[in-house]
Amino acid sequence: MIPSGMLENLNLKRKLSREEYKHALPGLQRRLYDLERVCWQRGVPSILVFEGWDAAGKGGVISALTERLDPRGVRLHPTNPPRTFEQQHPWLWRFWLQVPGRGQMAIFDRSWYLRVLDERVEGTVPKRDWRGAYRDIVEFERMLAEDGTVMLKFFLHISKKEQKERFEAIENDPLEAWRVTRADWDRHRKYGKYLKATEEMLEQTENNFAPWTIVEATSKWYARRKVLEKAIAALEMKLGRHAPPRGERAAEAAKDAELRDAMESLAGERG
């Protein structure tokens, strides 16, 4: 169980240097690719859910996660409010359509948790609907897990102050300013309400078959490494003795890191 008030007591000062991250990344990405390949061969599906604050870095984490994967086995699903025709079906219907096939990986950038976060706080659904959604979510995830799906859920956490600073930094960049909207600032002002909703969401939907991982996301390098390591560990546990042996790609990972350094150096010289 995730204890009440955990987010407020989380150490958000955890850091990782860019150099440490660059050194670790090639090996982590290669390991994840090897696991993806064996999951495909053995028909093991997986679902990775990403929730978190606006500007917490979900896009960057997903990019690092998928950069070296075989795109034929991965499906990315960005989640928006339901469209009109989707509202004519049971509320989880649209997510059932996105469940991965055998051996595939489905990544959700936001998810069915909109019902108990945004829709709850913004009042777009009645209280009875978001209250009942906890039961629906647990049963949905239970059925997927019992059918053999690896379920991983990540919440990227940053402070209200950090979010404000990130919004302002984005707005000060003429090429990126469009990313911060009036709705983003409105949700920022409701940070306390969203925090309360998130705490309850974590308590109500934490299970051993679909566990939450809280990611301290002040340092984007730390957040990305933590997610990669957690995904790798979960797939290794699921595959058990069928997981490919570790260590056989170490030399290749080192060469990959050297190549990336050389490419960055060339790019810097040309710039």
What total of structural domains would you count in the chain? 1
195 residue type, one letter: L
CATH of the domain at 207: 3.40.50.300
Give the residue carrying structure tokens 């958000």: 12
User: Residue range 194-217: average pLDDT?
Assistant: 97
Pick 258 or 140 by higher pLDDT. Answer: 140
% the chain with pLDDT above 90 = 87
148: CB partners within 8 A, 6+ apart: 43, 44, 45
Q: Is 152 a member of any domain? A: yes
The answer to whether residue 121 is domain-embedded is: yes
Nearest to 49 by CA among 125, 180, 140: 140
Instruction: Give the model confidence (pLDDT) of 125-178 as tens digits.
Output: 999 999 999 999 999 999 999 999 999 999 999 999 999 999 999 999 999 999
Tokens read off for 105? 């990986």
Residue 24 lies in a domain: yes
What whole-number distance in Å separates Cα of residue 75 and Cα of residue 26? 22
- Mean pLDDT, range 195-207, rounded to an integer: 97
pTM over the 0.95 mark: no
* Neighbour-count burial of 139, counting CB atoms closer than 10 A to its CB (0-12 exposed, 13-18 middle, 19+ buried): exposed
Average pLDDT, the chain: 93
Based on DSSP, count helices (H) and strands (E) in the chain, helices before strands.
11, 5
Does 253 have pLDDT greater than 90? Answer: no
Q: What is the pLDDT of residue 260?
A: 54
Q: Which two tokens stand for residue 84?
A: 């009109």
Q: Does residue 41 sit within a domain?
A: yes
Q: How many residues appear in the chain?
A: 271
Q: Is residue 39 part of a domain?
A: yes
Of residues 120 and 262, more confidently modeled: 120
pLDDT range class, residue 268, cuts 50, 70, 90:
low
Residue 268 lies in a domain: no
Distance CA 271, CA 206 (A): 48
pLDDT tens by residue, 5-29: 789 889 999 999 999 999 999 999 9
The whole-angstrom separation of Cα 248 and Cα 251 is 8
What range defines the domain where residue 102 resides? 6-263
